[in-house]
Amino acid sequence: MPDLILAQSIDERISNAMNPVSSVIEGIVFFSIPVAGVNLPLIVLWLVAAGAFFTVYLGFINLRGPKHALELVRGQYSDPEDAGEVTHFQALATAVSGTVGLGNIAGVAVAITIGGPGATVWMIIAGFLGMSSKMAECTLGVKYRRTRPDGTVSGGPMYYLEKGVAEVTGRARAGKTLAILFSLSCIGGSIGAGNMFQANQATAQIIAVTGGADSPVTNFRWVVGLIFAVFVGAVIIGGIKSIAKVTEKLVPLMAGIYLLAALVVILANLPAVPAAVAEIFTQAFALESATGGIIGALIVGFQRAAFSNEAGIGSAAIAHSAVQTNHPSTEGHVALLEPFIDTIIICTMTALIIVISGAYLDPVAGELGGVALTSAAFATVIPWFPNVLAIAVIAFAFSTMLTWAYYGMKSTGYIFNDSETAETVFKVIFCIFVIVGASLSLGPVIGISDSMLFLMAIPNVIGLYILASTLKKEIFTYRAKVASGEIAKVEH
């Protein structure tokens, strides 16, 4: 079969070309120092430190904020005269559909395979700290957003880095440099985590449900990639809005089905839950274990959590900034719910299912990795669920790709002054990388995706530190006004 040989060689050629690139980038971004015999990537420390700093600096806002955040999402502070504008709920929903996805399904499985069940606890802690950094970046995203003459709104780290940092330090060039660095890495992140990783895992799930190694698709991964690329291109280049609209409706539905199925699996195994929880906690703090004990679990847990909820990365600030509000802190409050939903609720449920089912103990679990492991865990109770999961994975992957295409396009637009040509070039490159991502094996894809995504955190978090006191004033003044009743609930 000459076709087959040709097809294999296309997949392999793409893999072989990308592997060295992947290891070089990974080596730089994940520069690690050995701690207690385990490598600790400095970038993970960087994100956790930012989350911890803003948690303390903003007075444990991640504990004090959620109540007010829920009131905002329910529209209790929205002016009825603003009907028709972007509501807090809509901004949150858009941002959540960009983040909820494979990080929650595949990322958790990867964390548990590498770091053991204990990684779950560290993911939850990272999610909790991430609530504070997410609030910080989204408040600033709204504060420094830009409204164009035609009424469209753009915001995100590039704007607060440029305007905010220049305002606070008086150095316009420093702000601009950080903003450009952020935009460049955001373009990389959109192609890596926002695209290749998604295409890769969606393809893996399609192969898994169509017969695994015997699947007719196995040697034609690039064809699956091509089909995805055509759909992504139809939306981002062709401007076919109906596909995007269907996806936006499908994602919450799929998330609902996913959570429901997760509950079914947990309830079916109810007697095993206490043991699973105990396992998760003892492993989290075990000094020694097969997977490197506490440090190993901590590092991988933090890393996967950051990948899943993107707190400190800066991406969500782009999605949140179109909201209608007179007080930037309102959207910051709403944004802190995002890591809570994404990491503390959804990731924890996935982790419980994987641990309860014992699927991660299977000797081939390491090879399965990602979505396939989560899928196997669900199948222990609901044998047909992998098929549903495949649809969910495709919907999540597709919506995440569209959201990240948007982030990448905004960054391209920022660097090239909203040049349409530059944005079109970006879109075409984005589509090509859908095919590349689908063709590669998981290892190099995770390497590149993580690297590019985490690179965004460097300029973003530097900016957050520089703007910390501005931010604190903004949030504290707002909270004081709410407490005093100067900003009051609206009667509907």
Partner 1 sequence: MPKCLLVGVDGSDSGKRALEFARGRAEDLGARLVLAHVIPWSPYSFNTPEENEQRHARRQAELAAAEEQLLGPARELAGDNIEVVTLAKHGDRAETLNALAEEHGADHIIVGRTGESRIRSKFFGSVPSELTMIADVPVTVVP
Closest contact distance (angstroms) between CB of 93 and partner 1 is 5
Q: Which stretch binds partner 1 (CB under 8 A): 73-81, 114-122, 358-366, 384-392?
A: 73-81
Is residue 420 involved in binding partner 1 (CB under 8 A)?
no
The residues, ordered by sequence, that sit 6+ positions from 266 with a Cβ below 8 Å of its Cβ are 273, 349, 352, 353, 356
Tokens 């730089």, residue located:
28
Is residue 322 involved in binding partner 1 (CB under 8 A)?
yes
CB contact at 8 A, 396 and 371: no
Residues 429, 312, 106: CA angle, nearest 5 degrees: 65
* Spatial CA neighbour of 344 closest among 381, 301, 292, 377: 301
Is residue 245 involved in binding partner 1 (CB under 8 A)?
yes
Torsions phi, psi of 297, nearest 5? -65, -40
Query: Both tokens of residue 29?
Result: 């971004």
* Spatial CA neighbour of 122 closest among 266, 372, 306: 306
Q: Which stretch binds partner 1 (CB under 8 A): 188-196, 272-280, 403-411, 418-426?
A: 403-411
- Considering only 136, 254, 402, 458, the residue that binds partner 1 (CB under 8 A) is 402
Closest contact distance (angstroms) between CB of 125 and partner 1 is 29
* Spatial CA neighbour of 337 closest among 66, 51, 142, 60: 66
Query: Both tokens of residue 147?
Result: 């409204």
Closest contact distance (angstroms) between CB of 416 and partner 1 is 17
**From start to end of 176-291, where are the E strands?**
none
Give, as ranges, the residues between 98 and 127 that touch partner 1 (CB under 8 A): 98
Closest contact distance (angstroms) between CB of 21 and partner 1 is 29
- Considering only 142, 318, 445, 453, the residue that binds partner 1 (CB under 8 A) is 318
Specify which residues 34 forms β-bridges with.
39
Closest contact distance (angstroms) between CB of 155 and partner 1 is 9
- Considering only 33, 34, 67, 84, the residue that binds partner 1 (CB under 8 A) is 84
Torsions phi, psi of 32, nearest 5? -120, 150
- Considering only 244, 334, 346, 456, the residue that binds partner 1 (CB under 8 A) is 244
Is residue 397 involved in binding partner 1 (CB under 8 A)?
no
CB contact at 8 A, 68 and 333: yes
CB contact at 8 A, 369 and 113: yes
Query: What is the helix (H) or strand (E) element at residue 437, kind and residue range?
Result: helix 420-439
Instruction: Give 147's DSSP letter.
Output: E
Q: Which stretch binds partner 1 (CB under 8 A): 79-87, 169-177, 299-307, 337-345?
A: 79-87
Closest contact distance (angstroms) between CB of 218 and partner 1 is 33
Closest contact distance (angstroms) between CB of 378 and partner 1 is 25
- Considering only 15, 97, 219, 343, the residue that binds partner 1 (CB under 8 A) is 97
Closest contact distance (angstroms) between CB of 318 and partner 1 is 7
Q: Which stretch binds partner 1 (CB under 8 A): 10-18, 88-96, 258-266, 365-373?
A: 88-96
Tell me the per-residue interface mask from 123 to 162 with partner 1, x by CB under 8 A, - otherwise. ------------------------x--xxxxx--------
- Considering only 48, 108, 265, 319, the residue that binds partner 1 (CB under 8 A) is 319
**How far is it, in rounded angstroms, from Cα 317 to Cα 136?**
9
Is residue 417 involved in binding partner 1 (CB under 8 A)?
no
Query: Both tokens of residue 370?
Result: 């990602």
The residues, ordered by sequence, that sit 6+ positions from 87 with a Cβ below 8 Å of its Cβ are 75, 78, 323, 324
* Spatial CA neighbour of 306 closest among 93, 460, 140: 460
Q: How many chain residues touch partner 1 (CB under 8 A)?
A: 37
- Considering only 15, 62, 94, 113, the residue that binds partner 1 (CB under 8 A) is 94
Residues that bind partner 1 (CB under 8 A): 75, 78, 80, 83-87, 89-91, 93-94, 97-98, 147, 150-154, 241, 244-245, 248-249, 251-252, 318-319, 322-324, 402-403, 406-407
